[in-house]
Amino acid sequence: MAGKPKLHYTKGRGKMESIRWLLAAAGVEFEEEFIETKEDLEKLRNDGVLLFQQVPMVEIDGMRMVQTRAILSYIAAKYNLYGKDLKERAWIDMYVEGTTDLMGMIMYLPFQPPDTKEKNLALIIERATTRYFPVYEKALKDHGQDYLVGNKLSWADVHLLEAILMVEECKPDVLSAFPLLQVRRISNIPTIKKFLQPGSQRKPPTDEKFIAVVRKIFNI
């Protein structure tokens, strides 16, 4: 039997968090090998296991996979979270790219100087409530189902829940105008519910201590 996937990244969310979410939603147990120092990262690079000298890197099915999007696509397809045909896959891709854009804005917010942080936080809330969340609310309203695509749990749903929770950390009442997003039932799916419990491998929001570690590891 193949071993558990092994995730190589820092102890924070970053680009690995969506991979953790998707594996957890699929009910897949995984191990983590944390990069805690600059030397840890250099060792991976020197060992030749990082295709483009970058992390995240996931060891899965005999491969050392890099590039977040490639890793996520592989996991989604492997665990039947990627639609039943090309059209469903295209919709899932579109929804995922939207939430990825939104999460990217939030991910980089803690690394910004204080004088721009407030302005960018306002922009995140504005984009979430006028550009992204209305799309998902309309999709759920139009087809009257609990899931975004094909009336079945997909990568798009998992990614959206992750994005919603990230935006709610910035503004708790951000879903006040989106009743269908408020009652997303996927948070009660047993594998997802488990991942949302304290003590899971879900990582906490980025704080100053973690930012200092990341700056040292990646020279930023």
Domains and CATH numbers, the chain: 6-79+197-218 (3.40.30.10), 86-188 (1.20.1050.10)
* CB 163 within 8 Å of CB 171: no
Please state the pTM of the whole predicted model.
0.94
For 122-164, the DSSP string reads: HHHHHHIIIIIHHHHHHHHHHHTSSSSSTTS--HHHHHHHHHH
Q: Is the pLDDT at 185 greater than 90, yes or no?
A: no
Q: What is the pLDDT of residues 41-76, one digit of tens each?
A: 999 999 999 999 999 999 999 999 999 999 999 999
Query: Three-class SS of residue 57?
Result: strand
Per-residue pLDDT at 57: 97
Q: In whole numbers, what is the pLDDT of the chain averaged over residues?
A: 93
Q: Is the pLDDT at 130 greater than 60, yes or no?
A: yes
Structure tokens at 191: 């594998």
Per-residue pLDDT at 77: 97
